[in-house]
Every structure is written in structure tokens, then in C-alpha cells.
A and B are shown apart, each in its own frame.
Chain A
Amino acid sequence: MCLGVPGKVTEIFEAEGTRFAMVDFGGVHKRVCLAYVPEVVVGDYTIVHVGFALTKLDEKSALETLELFRSVGLLDEELGRMDDAPAPAPASAAEAG
């Protein structure tokens, strides 16, 4: 129950004075309370815990993190070419496991 699930806001409406949204969780649609995320608009991605949106997913940060991961990979290739003793550790660890 503690697991937060990201979803896309498809519709926003008011109920009893509180902002709610319909959120699409990869095909499953749920009603979600927006009381804690006044900045969220239709089209945003948000993380939802037990019916409450807790944050707007920051698209810029998401792209930057992915870019960082890709740069780790590039660095890998660079080092692989430069390093005269490439470490085979991960592959053998995987086989051992």
C-alpha cells in the first residue's frame, strides 16, 4: 500500500470543495485527490499514494537523470577503450549468481 504509482492526469474536477482528477495508470483509471498538488494540470504526470497525488513528476529532472545514465554508458565505452585492464567482474558475478 505504501507503493507510489505514477500516472497521467486526464481530467480535473471539483468535489465537495476539493480538487480531484482522473488519473490514467497505464490503462487503469482512478479518481485521485489533488489537495496536496495545487500546481498539477491535465497532461502532467504525478505520483499517487492511496488515492492522493503527492507530487508532480518533474519532466526536466527525469530527462536529466536518463541523460546521466546514458553518459555513464558513454564513459564506460571511453574507459573500455582506454583502460588496458577492463574489468570482467560484472559478467562473472552475474553468472555466479
Chain B
Amino acid sequence: MKYLDEFGDPELARALLDDIARTVTRPWAIMEVCGGQTHTIIRNGIDQLLPEQVQLIHGPGCPVCVTPLETIDKALAIAATPGVIFCSFGDMLRVPGSSKDLFRVKSEGGDVRVVYSPLDAVQLAKDNPDKQVVFFGIGFETTAPANAMTVKMAKEQGIPNFSLLVSHVLVPPAITALLESPNRRVQGFLAAGHVCTVMGMGEYVPLVERYHVPIVVTGFEPLDVLEGIRRVLVQLEEGRAELENAYPRAVSAEGNLPAQAVVREVFETCDRAWRGIGTIPQSGWRLSPAYADFDAERRFDVSGVVAEESSLCRSGEVLQGLIKPVQCEAFGKECTPRSPLGAPMVSSEGACAAYYQFRRLERPAVTA
């Protein structure tokens, strides 16, 4: 399709790779924040085509992966409640809670439905006035405009049996947490293009200045990712730390202003626990007081949920870029996409799933 095929052109990729090879003189570590970019990198072997001095560290930008276990457990409890239709994006259904997942709840008789858009859930609420319809509203700044508009419409249209279980996460506070970490290895960032499509680029200016780190707003096709990497490397080699936009066809400096306005009306900023990482201050959105009536956590009593992680899973270290998925002992054995121990093995944006899909046969020999 137009605007997809051109940005996967192998000859232009070769040209970018050659330019990168000429640019690099020293070892550098770059993080791609977004799990969509991780998949582009692994699927196309971009990490293996780069000069050996360039290390790509996979970031925490997988919404399914970082949704707190406690929230998953709350979703399971609500979904199992009689009279509830629980709606979710498809990739949440296999995410492991403390003892089961949404698929299990469905097989046990819960009315769990996969929807493409939160608007589909509102339609279900209209069609089933005798049921409580709950939508699992998670994601980064990219899904927030959809979820926010859906709640706004539900309020305006007076749909009393619709509510949202919301756990939104934000990219800039996560980058800040990574930069503040004593384990910091990342020297430059590829910022997630579509997050900036919504929010613009302004939030990254203080990060570039305060931490003297190059940040390049980057798209998702192979050439986009290569260009993002190339621009970060050029900055690093020249000792510069600037904010650049390598994805101008979809990102403007100010972002989508109507979307920002609705998001700010419906949501408010809050501290948020990231699964595998811990609590990051002011890194989430929850429903604002004006929309509290649509908060599923108020509508259903889920306060007694106690969450417990698998002891085998090392997804926290994967999400912080401390280990690669194949370094986890459970990878491909106890933990597979069909039977995942950790959320990164589930999602189309999870790093473990990317390695399982494209790299599991290349796993290096493990010394006993």
C-alpha cells in the first residue's frame, strides 16, 4: 500500500545502513521505546545489520506488558461478574493475571468480548441495556484519545450501563525514569512516533536539555527505524543532544490539539505502577472527577484483589532493557505465546513475543 511499501525499500535500507556504518566510530547504546519499533527491528533483522558497536536496547513501550498485574486481576474479577459484558482489545485476553487470564474467564462462562474500538463497546451497551458493559481502557497516549472520546460520547448520550476500567500510561515520565536510573546505559532514544502524533514534541525538549541525550521522533516502517537510528548516531558521534523529527509525515511539533483537549478533559494525571518496573510518578492517566461515574473501579467492588507475579518470569528486566528475552531461563520453555508467564510474551508489541516469533531458533547455546 502507498506510504507502507516505499518505506520498506531494500535498496534505500542498504544506503541508510551504509551511511550508519560510515558514521559510527565507537560503541553506542540506543533505546527504541516503542514495542512496535522493537517488532520492526527484530522482524527485519535490523539489529543484526547494524555495525557491531551499535546496541539496541528494547524499551518498555508495550501497553499490554506494563499494565499492572493488579489491574489485570481487577479485570478478571469484573469479567467474571454475572450480568457483565467485558470488552477488551484482543491482545489483552492472554495476558496472565495472578492465577488466570481473560480467556480462562471466558471459558468459565464469563461474557468476554474482543472489540476493535472502544466505540464498539458503547454500541454493545446500547444494544444490551440490561447488562453492564465494561471496556478495558489501557494503552499509551495513542489509544487515550479514542478511550477519552468514547467516555465523553457515553456521557453526552446518557448511556448509564457503560464504564471504563482505565490504566493509561505515558511515555515521557518513563523515559525520565530510565534516564534517572542508576543502571542507565541508554545514550540516545528513538521516541515513539504515534505518541508524538497525538501529544506533539514539546514534552521531550526539557529531557534533551536536562539529560543531554539525543531524542529522535521515529516511525515504524523499516526505513523509518533505520533513519531514526542513523540520526541518533550522527548526533552522538558529533557530541550533540537535540530533539529531531524523523517522522514528519505523521508528526507535527504541536501534535493533535483537538485530541489533547478531549484527553485533558476526560483524564487526569496520576502516579502509575508499571508491571515489571514499579511505580513511576505522574506517569498515568485516570478518569477525571467529572467522569468518575464511568469508572469501573467505582462501579464494581474490586478492592480486595491481591496480585502475585510468576517467580520464573524475568519480564521486568526485559522491560527495563537489562536483559534480552532469550536470556530468561523460561523463554521458549515454560513461557511461550500460547502459555505466557509474562505479558511481553503475549502482545504483538512485546519484546519476548518478537524474539519468540523471529529468533527462537537462533538462540545461542546456554552453558550448563
* Docked-complex contact A50 and B117, CB < 8 angstroms: yes
Judged by a CB distance under 8 angstroms, whether B287 is at the interface is no
Task: Give complex CA distance A65, B219 in Å.
Answer: 11
Task: Give complex CA distance A45, B15 in Å.
Answer: 27
Task: Give complex CA distance A70, B157 in Å.
Answer: 51
B 17-54 to A, binary, CB cutoff 8 A, 1 in contact else 0: 11111100000000000111000000001011111100
Judged by a CB distance under 8 angstroms, whether B259 is at the interface is yes
Q: How far is the CB of A19 from chain B (nearest CB, A)?
A: 12
* Docked-complex contact B50 and A50, CB < 8 angstroms: no
- Taking CB atoms, residues of chain A closer than 8 Å to B348 are 3
Task: Give complex CA distance A26, B16 in Å.
Answer: 27
* Docked-complex contact B19 and A75, CB < 8 angstroms: yes
* Docked-complex contact A51 and B17, CB < 8 angstroms: no
- Taking CB atoms, residues of chain A closer than 8 Å to B20 are 90
Q: Report the nearest B residue to A4, measured CB to CB.
A: B194
Given A51-B117, A61-B249, A69-B16, does the pair A79, B22 have CB atoms closer than 8 Å?
yes
Task: Give complex CA distance A20, B292 in Å.
Answer: 27
Interface majority SS (helix, strand, loop, mixed), chain A = mixed
* Docked-complex contact A3 and B89, CB < 8 angstroms: no
Residue A93 contacts which of B4, B16, B51, B61 (CB distance < 8 angstroms)?
B51
Task: Give complex CA distance A15, B15 in Å.
Answer: 47
Interface majority SS (helix, strand, loop, mixed), chain B = helix
- Taking CB atoms, residues of chain B closer than 8 Å to A75 are 19
Judged by a CB distance under 8 angstroms, whether B210 is at the interface is no
Task: Give complex CA distance A56, B227 in Å.
Answer: 21
B 239-275 to A, binary, CB cutoff 8 A, 1 in contact else 0: 0000000101111100010110010000000000000
Task: Give complex CA distance A93, B49 in Å.
Answer: 6
Judged by a CB distance under 8 angstroms, whether B1 is at the interface is yes
Q: How far is the CB of B322 from chain A (nearest CB, A)?
A: 22
Given A35-B149, A76-B18, A93-B49, does the pair A2, B6 have CB atoms closer than 8 Å?
no
* Docked-complex contact B2 and A8, CB < 8 angstroms: yes
Residue with the greatest number of chain A CB neighbours at <10 A, chosen from B11, B52, B142, B197: B142
Q: Report the nearest B residue to A68, measured CB to CB.
A: B227
Q: How far is the CB of A38 from chain B (nearest CB, A)?
A: 7
Given A26-B1, A89-B21, does the pair A69, B12 have CB atoms closer than 8 Å?
yes
- Taking CB atoms, residues of chain A closer than 8 Å to B35 are 2
Given A6-B1, A72-B16, does the pair A61, B117 have CB atoms closer than 8 Å?
no
* Docked-complex contact A1 and B149, CB < 8 angstroms: no
Given A47-B197, A49-B142, does the pair A2, B116 have CB atoms closer than 8 Å?
no
Considering the complex, which residues of chain B in the window 102-155 have a beta carbon less than 8 Å from any beta carbon of chain A?
116-120, 138-140, 142-143, 145-146, 149, 153
| Other 19 A-B pairs with CB < 8 A, given A72-B15, A97-B48 | A2-B34, A2-B61, A33-B149, A36-B258, A50-B143, A52-B146, A54-B198, A55-B197, A59-B249, A61-B248, A65-B246, A65-B249, A66-B6, A66-B12, A69-B227, A76-B19, A90-B18, A93-B51, A94-B48
B residues apposed to A, CB below 8 Å = 1-4, 6-7, 9, 11-12, 14-22, 34-36, 45, 47-52, 61-64, 89-92, 116-120, 138-140, 142-143, 145-146, 149, 153, 157, 194, 197-198, 220, 223, 227, 230, 246, 248-252, 256, 258-259, 262, 348-349
A-B contact pairs, 11 of them (CB 8 A): A2-B36, A4-B250, A33-B149, A50-B89, A50-B143, A62-B249, A69-B12, A70-B12, A70-B15, A72-B12, A96-B52
